[in-house]
Amino acid sequence: MTYGTDLLSNINKYIDHSVLKPYITYQEVEDHCIKALEYQFASICINPFHVKICSQILKNSTVSVCSVVGFPLGLNTIDIKIKEALQSIEDGSRELDIVWNISAFKSKDYKYVEQELKEIIKNTPNIIHKVIVETAYLSQEEKKIALDIVINAGAEYIKTSTGFADKGADLQDVLMWKELAGKKIKIKASGGIKDLKTALEFIKAGCDRIGTSSGIEIVKEVRDVLRGDSEKTY
């Protein structure tokens, strides 16, 4: 096995289990929370409306409740984003996946973008902040600028994608960020990561978290490999 049994058997700890579809029912959210507990994912990533449901189920567990902020477009005002973040924390979130203002960034209003993130982070201490920069819309040079802004803002993670753009995570972006940033910030890849092979490639490239709605399938694939029930090797 190229990756070793230690990584394979602990891959669940890299996974943010994404449950973000707009048509999901209350019962389905509860079912996903139970699955997140069973598979011991790092977190379950949900919309703010579902935070209370999840926090009640997961309150005594190691699975964090992660709420999105400004999702999926990022075009709310700073005040609205702060209020949304604070409400999510009050309801039980311990992590926030924040969509930054893509319009302001593409307009080269970098001061506004950084200030927005700083204000959100300042108002939500002791919480893990992951900033979604939506790489599908950025040039290579803009991806480098994005990295600097997110680091300067004080976020713990830079995250590739919402999963709602035409393209999700790109391995080359992660490799570039890792080379440029080193240990200055952690990286979360999301969007299009649907199987074990892809998840492992992103972790090897330097990702600390993987955002996916296919976490259960990925862990099941690991279990098959470790039991010798799969012909695949990793």
- Could you give the residue numbers annotated as active site? 97, 159, 188
| Beta strand ranges found along the chain (DSSP E) | 15-19, 43-46, 64-69, 95-99, 128-132, 157-159, 186-190, 209-212
Q: b/e map of 1-29 (b: 16 or more CB within 10 Å)?
A: eebeeebbeebbebbbbbbbeeebeeeeb
Q: Which tokens sit at 220?
A: 């099941």
Rounded (10°) angle between helices 51-58 and 26-39 = 40
**3-state secondary structure at position 66:** strand
